[in-house]
Structure 1
Amino acid sequence: MMRPVRQLYPMSRIGCVLFGLLLSAVAGYAQDLGSLGKQKPFAISGALNVTVDGYNNVQGRERLDPLAWTISGSPTLSIYGISLPIYVLINNQSRSLTGPYQQFGMSPTYKWIRVHAGYRNLSFSPYTLAGRLFLGGGIELTPGKLRLAAMYGQFEKAQPADSLRFVLADVPPPAPRFQRTGYAVKVGYGTANSFIDLIYFRAKDNVGSIRFPANTRIAPDENAVVGLSSQLTFLKHFTWSANLGISAYTRDIRRSENTDVLDQAPWLRTFIVPRTGTQVGYAGESSLSYSSTLLTMQLQVRQISAEYQSMGAYFFNNDLREITVSPSLVLLDGKVQVSGSYGYQQDNVSNLRPTTTTRQIGSANVTVQPNQVFSMLMSYSNYGTSQRGTERIIDTLKIQQVNQSVIIAPRLFFNGEAVQHTLSAFVSYQNANDVNTVSQVRTDFNNILANLNYAYTRPKERLSLTPGLSAIRNFVPGYNTQSFGATVIASKGFDKGKLNTSLSGNYYQNFYEGAANGYTLRTRLSGRYRPAGTHEFSLSVASTINQDKVVQSRNFTELFGQVGYGLSF
């Protein structure tokens, strides 16, 4: 195998680092003109960690390397108040170096003017420009109640279909793509609590950016989006918000013009040339919320058509409709808090599929804390999925499921001057019920998890002891397993916290179809010593023994060890 090309030219990589740091330093003068005199010209901080791992397989298949080492560092350079984090990782298998010189950007601000340069991500609204990373520039102006913004940049860098450097490196090349550039403009009026914004976004692939596309399915696209974003706060406790978007997306701009595709929205011809591959999509959401000291309530409605896309956003769950109600209530001077939500979701809102799937999601949470000694959390959730169609659905393919979850977690805490006692429990029940008689043998599932833990703590002596019991039962058609076990964790600090040690162990007895099926035993001894504020030494030794009477390949005994050193500067 040939050595990757990136290792054949180390000076080019070093040059990129030096150039990036120089660019960062120059840009730092424009970040905060008012406070440059108070900043240090140059400073460095961060951490360096070195670890050596040892592994010994006593029984069973060997899973790890007998010896492994890792050197990692996260230095942060500061040039006139501009932080430049860098991460370095070197181990026995790989090397990596990342830093701000690869995707550097800045956003200096002066009064009501903010300028963006380099790699930036801006959000004008959820359905237009919504946080997509770009390389370019932008500006935001907020004089008084005016809200003006604009940006232009590259959203995708051209990737040739057959790159020689990947062939020489003997690694799979990335998928080819066209260079994609775009711009967005926002015009609005209002404040942070009440405003209305109009947004226009446009992006297009450069046909000439790829000379020989190897994959004929790769085609240059084009997109134009018109959006509205608004929010209104009224009567002190009420807030109404809305976000709308209309998108015209053309797949393959090399196709011939076709004005008929925009019959539903002919005004979009002002923004984009309609072609045979142009599709129009709609997206919108609106919410009304009420908020007070004791009660919070929100109603949200969202609908996105199947054709909706925006090159200014990464991803949309489209072709769906959602309705969600989320209440929250505070009772008895905050001693009881009740919250919940109910949602209805439906796909196929564009009626392009033969079937429609609906989901109903409900949840309720109750937190009770009458005093400092007792508290309890109770939670319930229910998720239902069903399917219907205009034609008869074959019974063996029909989807109809109900998933339920219940959690109860009480806690007792006794706080003394010298000793603290904590008794906590956790019980969880999960159920997946498939109504389809054909698929339920593979998807029906019931799980019960229960934990009981006690913690004995002496804070002044830095001593704690935590024993616990646990049980797990899984019920699956034709395959039932159970595990019952005990855990104990002990920790002790010495020399005013400079040395901290811990010892833990847990044992699980496993059962299969009601019969004993082996056990799992884990132990671990570890210690950390910090002689000074900048140095730290660590040592840990662990073992795992697993015995399985049914599957012999699961029988193994392993020993682990790790030595580490850390430096903070």
Structure 2
Amino acid sequence: MINYNNKIILMIVCLFATPWSPAAQEKEEDNSKVKLTGSIGFFYDYYNFSQNNYNSFRPRYPEHLWRINAQMNIHLGKHFSMPLSVNATNQDVLYTLPSVPEESALDYLQNPANNISINPKYKWAQVFLGTQTPFYSKLSTGDIPIFGVGIELNPGKFLFSATTGKSQRAIEPNVALNIPGAYEQNIIATRIGIGTIEGSKFTLNAIRIKDDVTSVSTQPIGLQPIEGITFSPYAEFKVFKKIQISTETAASVFTSDVLNTGTLEEDFVNSVKDIININASSTADFAHNSRIDWKGEIFQIGGELQYIGPGFLPVGYRFIERDILDYKLNTALKILKNKLNLTGSFGIRTNNLSDTKLSTARRVITNANAFAQINDAFSLNINFSNFGFNNDTNLLNQRIELVNNSLTITPSYTIKTEKYLHLINANASYNSFEQFDVINNAFAKAENTTYSLNYNLTFLQLPLNLGLQGVYLENELPTGDFNMLNYGLIASYKLLNKKLTPSLGFNIAHIDKPGFTTDYRTDLNLRIGYKISKKLQCRVQYRYTNLTYGSSRQEAILNQNRVQFSINQRF
């Protein structure tokens, strides 16, 4: 098993095993054909707290958090490159479980959430080793990280991709430790076609996902093993340089419980029983997505149509809403020499097309944004969004109806003189959420109004920056209203030839709830950044937060301390 200290050691090995030493940089200077780009960083967070009369408080961060982040690329000559990616932590990640078992070193490295990968590339060929998230299209695969191997070939107009790996390792269930368990899950994805990876193309995509029922000795609690395949032709191309079109029609066969002993008398599903396990839990369906966009220098317009059948499942995605029909329209306009930019979108989503549910729901989504550069000093941004959802049932206890509206106005003003630069930003936002309450047979409404003002002063002849901010928030909720007033100061200065940058931030917030005395929150933020060299920097930050509660939590006091250290090397 790999314990806490071993995880730290393993992370440090990953850090120094990557070629970021001065020797690698000297090699770059000796041979101009070898080049290292990117960055690597080490991060450590420490957190503790103390409380009085607040025994139910749960820590907001782990006590010790170690992280390594490396995004690098080794270039050799004109055609060879090798991207390296390492995102590792000492925490137990990936699993959506209340508790997790101990990990071996191999389990830790294979955990896709740690994102450890090496992807060498030569001309039109690239190999993927380690964690990867292949994206082929919206209806095939695109958001499941896996640990495995892959290849991508694009010589001329020929395109081929293939990936196989583990998206979930096996976990034995343990009721005593509150571990539900999980099957080992594997994915195979491939596509073949013509075109270019980043440009116009036509591909045939095939994805298969399968749980290994033999990977655990006891069936996980509340979880059935799954198996499924998705096949889709996908086309993406440009017309007349300004029109871009993409279209995809996908079919899937999905078995939600491999252990189900029932049979299914459907020829179109049983026709693939030699490929995947077919039983009474199996479904087959199709989906379609088409999009067209016209992009001019002044005006842009686009539309999208999407249908997802009730039995369709793109097995390369964790979740997708099914049995829906979407219509979307997007527009954009730039006028007055790009000083006025207007964008907008409108969409309607309808579900229960198969009429298999008790009701049908319809949602409306609208967004409009206007940005105006009035003159060199003054600009104004206005954004409005609307989201609506309702169903057509007449039964009171099944009625769903809600509307969410949001309006934000943000003016900005800049004043520049020979010695000073003044930047003033203001923001006013209004959010309204209204939902039908089936218990009270009436609409319940929640409103949020926020006003903020920020002033930043930069001394052009001194390495000094000052900032003032103020925020007023007013919430009106069915469960209870509250208001918050927050104001603060931040200051930074550069020393030692601008290599050392200390900064100080201080905030006080007053939180008022009807019927209770005021709660107070005080934040102190100290930060020191130092440039060791042009590309090597380190930073230390300390944050202290004190919450002193009024009568809402009688005589409760909470103190939190957080120290963060980081060192980052760029190449």
Deviations 1:19-51 (A, max 9, x none): 999999xxxxxxxxxx999549x9998555667
TM-score, normalisation: structure 2 = 0.77
The answer (yes or no) to whether the contact 1:152–1:184 under 8 Å persists in 2 is yes
- Name the counterpart of 1:464: 465
Equivalent of residue 227 in structure 2, options 222, 242, 265: 222
Following superposition, the deviation at residue 274 of structure 1 comes to 4.5
The answer (yes or no) to whether the contact 1:434–1:440 under 8 Å persists in 2 is no
Q: Tell me how far apart the structure 1 counterparts of residues 67 and 416 of structure 2 sit (CA, whole Å).
A: 41
The answer (yes or no) to whether the contact 1:50–1:565 under 8 Å persists in 2 is yes
The answer (yes or no) to whether the contact 2:503–2:528 under 8 Å persists in 1 is no
Q: Tell me how far apart the structure 1 counterparts of residues 8 and 542 of structure 2 sit (CA, whole Å).
A: 37
Alignment gaps of 5+ in structure 1: 25-34
The answer (yes or no) to whether the contact 1:320–1:347 under 8 Å persists in 2 is yes
Count of equivalent residues: 532
Q: Tell me how far apart the structure 1 counterparts of residues 568 and 264 of structure 2 sit (CA, whole Å).
A: 65
- Name the counterpart of 1:382: 386
- Name the counterpart of 2:409: 408
**Could you say what secondary structure the match of 1:288 adopts?**
strand
Equivalent of residue 196 in structure 1, options 193, 202, 221: 202
- Name the counterpart of 1:261: 266
Q: Tell me how far apart the structure 1 counterparts of residues 333 and 247 of structure 2 sit (CA, whole Å).
A: 25
Deviations 1:453-476 (A, max 9, x none): 333321331223333443222223
The answer (yes or no) to whether the contact 1:507–1:519 under 8 Å persists in 2 is no
Matched, 1:246 2:251: yes
Q: Tell me how far apart the structure 1 counterparts of residues 18 and 490 of structure 2 sit (CA, whole Å).
A: 51
Q: Tell me how far apart the structure 2 counterparts of residues 226 and 36 of structure 1 sit (CA, whole Å).
A: 47
1:522-541 → structure 2 map (5 Å cutoff): 522=522, 524=524, 526-528=526-528, 530=530, 532-533=532-533, 538=540, 540=542
Q: Tell me how far apart the structure 2 counterparts of residues 21 and 545 of structure 1 sit (CA, whole Å).
A: 41
1:153-164 → structure 2 map (5 Å cutoff): 153-161=165-173
Equivalent of residue 368 in structure 2, options 364, 368, 393: 364
Change (3 A) 1:155 1:23: farther
Larger Rg: 1
- Name the counterpart of 1:110: 122
Following superposition, the deviation at residue 128 of structure 1 comes to 2.6
The answer (yes or no) to whether the contact 2:541–2:565 under 8 Å persists in 1 is no
- Name the counterpart of 1:352: 356
- Name the counterpart of 2:453: 452
Following superposition, the deviation at residue 418 of structure 1 comes to 1.0
The answer (yes or no) to whether the contact 1:244–1:285 under 8 Å persists in 2 is yes
Change (3 A) 1:161 1:422: closer
The answer (yes or no) to whether the contact 1:360–1:383 under 8 Å persists in 2 is yes
Equivalent of residue 296 in structure 1, options 300, 307, 310: 300
Change (3 A) 1:471 1:385: same
Following superposition, the deviation at residue 309 of structure 1 comes to 1.9
Following superposition, the deviation at residue 506 of structure 1 comes to 4.0
- Name the counterpart of 2:155: 143
Matched, 1:339 2:372: no
- Name the counterpart of 1:29: none
Deviates more, 1:376-385 or 1:427-436: 427-436
Equivalent of residue 316 in structure 2, options 312, 317, 325: 312
**Could you say what secondary structure the match of 1:551 adopts?**
helix
The one-letter code matched in structure 1 to 2:517 is N
The answer (yes or no) to whether the contact 2:380–2:409 under 8 Å persists in 1 is yes
Change (3 A) 1:296 1:540: same
- Name the counterpart of 2:144: 132
Q: Tell me how far apart the structure 2 counterparts of residues 294 and 136 of structure 1 sit (CA, whole Å).
A: 45
Root-mean-square deviation (CA), in Å?
A: 4.5
Matched, 1:393 2:391: no
Equivalent of residue 238 in structure 2, options 227, 233, 254: 233
Following superposition, the deviation at residue 201 of structure 1 comes to 3.1
Following superposition, the deviation at residue 53 of structure 1 comes to 6.3
Following superposition, the deviation at residue 560 of structure 1 comes to 6.0
Matched, 1:283 2:287: yes
Following superposition, the deviation at residue 519 of structure 1 comes to 5.3
Change (3 A) 1:270 1:376: same
Following superposition, the deviation at residue 478 of structure 1 comes to 7.2
Change (3 A) 1:356 1:416: same
Deviations 1:45-93 (A, max 9, x none): 8555667667666x6547699xx97574638698977646374659xxx
The one-letter code matched in structure 2 to 1:305 is G
The answer (yes or no) to whether the contact 1:262–1:269 under 8 Å persists in 2 is no
**Could you say what secondary structure the match of 2:461 adopts?**
helix
The answer (yes or no) to whether the contact 2:205–2:231 under 8 Å persists in 1 is yes
- Name the counterpart of 1:74: 68
Q: Tell me how far apart the structure 1 counterparts of residues 69 and 480 of structure 2 sit (CA, whole Å).
A: 51
The answer (yes or no) to whether the contact 1:410–1:425 under 8 Å persists in 2 is yes
Q: Tell me how far apart the structure 2 counterparts of residues 339 and 44 of structure 1 sit (CA, whole Å).
A: 35
**Could you say what secondary structure the match of 1:520 adopts?**
strand
Alignment gaps of 5+ in structure 2: 20-29, 76-81, 92-101
Q: Tell me how far apart the structure 1 counterparts of residues 327 and 562 of structure 2 sit (CA, whole Å).
A: 52
